[in-house]
Amino acid sequence: MIKRNDKMKNSIKNISRWIPVLFFGIVVTLFTSCENDVKFNDLVPDYTYSIMRSFEANGQAATIDQTNGVVHLTLPAGANISSVMVDMTLPDGATVDPASGSTLDFSSGPVIFKVTNNGVTREYTVTIAAYGDPMIMTFAIGDNDGVIDQANGTIEVTVGSQENIKALTPQYTIPESTTSTPQSGVAQDFTNPVKYTVLSNDGFTGKSYVVTITQLPQAIITSFKTGEDICSVTGIIDDEASAINLDFPAGADLSAITPIIETTEGSTLSPESGVAQDFSSGAIDYTVTNLEGLTKTYSVVARTITSSKKIAFISGADCIESISEPDTKAAALWLKANYAEDFVYLKAGTLTSEDLASTELVVLYWDNVGTQEMPDGGITADKVAIVTDYYKAGGNLMVEGFAINLLDEIGRINMDGTVFTNEGGNTNPVGGENLDAWGLRASYSTPSPSESANHPILAGLSQGGTDYYPMNNAHYKEDRNFGIDFGWPEYNGLFTEAQCSEDRALEFEAATNSVLIRWYEWLDARGCGIGLAEFKPQGEYQGTMILNTGGWLEWSMTDNNGAVNDFQNNIYVLHANVIDYLLN
């Protein structure tokens, strides 16, 4: 049996025997490792002296990403990136390709630059962009190209006579990275010039253009007269019906009339103006041809008329054709055109009571500029007295516009001895810009008597989107507002009921035998004052008077900066209703 000490001695001997072998293996391993370290080659180039230290394009410094070798720069709006001058700074001894100071084209994408020094080359990828240049490059409406004035920011387009100028759809182009408003392809109303704005994607650089549309003249006859004298018989032209009526007094010779005719600019006419024609046998056709070659044929009829003189229009001029104020003239022409067999024009300066002997309705209306006086000579107190006597004797009146100033002298609007008078009347030439539609209230939350709510003169009026009758939506309005407001201090003592209440309306109606038909569209109250009203016979005044104080009343748009009233027909319908009501 082997003793424990002997076993331990044998183990120690075995370990001692292997120590040299282990030592040799460690030495070999370390030697081999060191050998590998010496043989390793570093493949990363030393770019210390092959870099761009700065980069500028058109004088604007760029930010250089040295880690990734990338340069990016966005030039100001409008910069031409197809021709960009570049400048770089490099370490001593370095070169770059393309060279610093070169003019390069970046429009097709990035350009690679190579910086070389001591045999080491590094590439940089350079991208140059530009913010969008805000401009309109092309502009057209249909086949009609616009003329663009970049310096002045204007665009002019000429369109045909048949185009709807209130709904034209332009197509235009703008550079990349820009936006515009209104957008291309969106219909616009070009009755007045429209502004277009283009904005760069830099968020602050922009350019605006004012677009003006010129419409070629239609093929129409604008004037058809029978002599050089302004008061010679003048044709009533109905373009919609392509008809012209010449109304001569009874006994006139219709066999040899030499018309003096005017047409739109550039148009031709057949038969020509100034050629005598025999109208005694019936209508004669006149054909107009405009610049586009489009034609329109008018049927011209000459007739003799003996008027009943039931409807009289009084103004200061010698005849309707010589009325100088456009709205006043348009009102008289409308009456003449629609009531030829009952109409008579009377000059204020020569008016006599005999002139009104057969008259059942006198229309008192005029407009003016800079004054509220009747245009072309005015009307004197003695002539107003003739009208007042006519009214007291049972004659009917319609009073509007600046003629409302005659109410003081006529004296009908009276309550406890106080006459209600006009408190308004703007006399500016064209008023001002206003985008609202003005008119008459249609109904009230507090019910009014049927005589007001369902008054016959409101029949057939087109109603707006809200509860009112729109009368004028022209963007330019003269604003001849004559509202007689019950709230003025001098009137407050005349009433016991609250201002603008229905009870105040009833109180006024009872005192004056009137019907407050409507107030203006913006107020849900009938008792604020006199908007549109009927004054029935009372006391010495045996006629009926319709009074219209609305600032919306305009008979002509020719002096409203080209504005258009889409609700002009409501004005015609209202006046036709008044005439029918008072004559029947």
Q: What's the CATH code, domain 54-130? A: 2.60.40.2340
What would the pLDDT profile of 133-181 be if each residue is shown by its tens digit?
Answer: 999 999 999 999 999 999 999 999 999 999 999 999 999 999 989 999 9
Q: Nearest 10 degrees: CA dihedral of 131, 133, 138, 141?
A: 80
The amino acid at 443: S
Going along 50-159, which residue ranges are E strands? 54-57, 60-61, 63-65, 70-75, 84-89, 95-97, 103-104, 111-117, 120-130, 138-141, 144-145, 147-149, 154-159
pLDDT, residue 11, reads: 45
Give me the residues paired with residue 34 across strands: none
What mean pLDDT comes out for the span 325-349? 95
Burial letters for 156-189: b for 16+ Cβ neighbours within 10 Å, e otherwise? Answer: ebebbbebebeebebebebbebbebeeebeeebe
The rounded distance, in Å, linking the Cα atoms of 266 and 217 is: 8
The rounded distance, in Å, linking the Cα atoms of 166 and 343 is: 36
Element (H, E) at 258: none
pLDDT, residue 4, reads: 43
Identify the residue with better confidence: 491 or 559: 491
Give me the residues paired with residue 225 across strands: 234, 260
Residue 505 and residue 511 in contact, taking contact as beta carbons nearer than 8 Å: no
Share of the chain above pLDDT 70, in %: 90
Residue 17 pLDDT more than 60? no
The amino acid at 493: G
Matching residue, tokens 């409302």: 404
pLDDT, residue 35, reads: 45
The rounded distance, in Å, linking the Cα atoms of 578 and 244 is: 26
Tokens representing 429 are 């030439």
Ranges 76-80, 432-436, 514-518, 528-532: which has the least confidence:
432-436
Give me the residues paired with residue 261 across strands: 224
Give me the residues paired with residue 61 across strands: 56
What mean pLDDT comes out for the span 458-472? 88
The rounded distance, in Å, linking the Cα atoms of 94 and 119 is: 10
Of 550, 558, 557, the C-alpha closest to 575 is 550
DSSP of 435-461:
-SPEEEE---SS---HHHHT-GGGTTP
pLDDT, residue 317, reads: 97
pTM here? 0.69
Dihedral sign, CA of 222, 228, 230, 233?
negative
Domain boundaries, the chain: 54-130, 138-215, 221-305, 311-583
Reported as a pLDDT band with limits 50, 70 and 90, residue 114 is very high
The rounded distance, in Å, linking the Cα atoms of 406 and 423 is: 13
Matching residue, tokens 């009874």: 250
pLDDT, residue 499, reads: 86
The third-level CATH classification (topology) of the domain covering 221-305 is: Immunoglobulin-like (2.60.40)
What mean pLDDT comes out for the span 306-329? 96
What mean pLDDT comes out for the span 50-58? 97
Let me know the angle formed at the C-alpha of 53 by 48 and 55, rounded to the nearest 5 degrees.
145
Tokens representing 400 are 């509007």
Share of the chain above pLDDT 90, in %: 72
Matching residue, tokens 């009747």: 374
Is 311-583 the same fold as 221-305?
no
**Antiparallel, parallel or unpaired: β 529-530 and 514-518:** unpaired
Strand order in the sheet with 243-249: 236-238, 243-249, 295-305, 284-289, 268-270
Residue 421 half-sphere exposure toward CB, CA atoms < 13 A: 11
The rounded distance, in Å, linking the Cα atoms of 131 and 202 is: 6
Reported as a pLDDT band with limits 50, 70 and 90, residue 24 is very low
The rounded distance, in Å, linking the Cα atoms of 581 and 285 is: 37
What would the pLDDT profile of 187-197 be if each residue is shown by its tens digit?
Answer: 999 989 999 99
Provide the 10 A C-beta neighbour count for residue 248: 16
The third-level CATH classification (topology) of the domain covering 311-583 is: Rossmann fold (3.40.50)
CATH 1.10.10.60 assigned to 138-215: no
Give me the residues paired with residue 297 across strands: 287
Ranges 245-259, 283-297, 406-420, 562-576: which has the least confidence:
406-420
pLDDT, residue 469, reads: 92
pLDDT, residue 424, reads: 61
Name 518's Cβ contacts closer than 8 Å, sequence gap at least 6: 440, 441, 452, 458, 469, 526, 531, 532
Of 268, 228, 224, the C-alpha closest to 245 is 224
Reported as a pLDDT band with limits 50, 70 and 90, residue 457 is very high
What is the separation, in whole angstroms, between the first and last Cα of the chain?
Answer: 158
What mean pLDDT comes out for the span 342-364? 97
Residue 294 pLDDT more than 50? yes
Reported as a pLDDT band with limits 50, 70 and 90, residue 482 is confident
Residue 426 pLDDT more than 80? no
Residue 204 pLDDT more than 60? yes
DSSP of 199-247:
EETTSS-EEEEEEEEEEPPPS-EEEEESSSSTTS-B-EEETTTTEEEEE
Of 218, 220, 224, the C-alpha closest to 301 is 224
What mean pLDDT comes out for the span 460-473? 86
Q: To the nearest whole number, what is the mean pLDDT of the chain? A: 89
C-alpha 8: how far from chain center: 116
Identify the residue with better confidence: 521 or 351: 351
pLDDT, residue 427, reads: 64
Alpha helices in 81-167 (DSSP H): none
The rounded distance, in Å, linking the Cα atoms of 502 and 333 is: 38
Distances 554 to 368, 417, 460, 472, 484 between C-alpha atoms, Å: 12, 33, 19, 8, 19
Reported as a pLDDT band with limits 50, 70 and 90, residue 477 is confident
Reported as a pLDDT band with limits 50, 70 and 90, residue 536 is very high
The rounded distance, in Å, linking the Cα atoms of 516 and 534 is: 7
Residue 464 and residue 535 in contact, taking contact as beta carbons nearer than 8 Å: no
Alpha helices in 463-517 (DSSP H): 489-492, 502-512
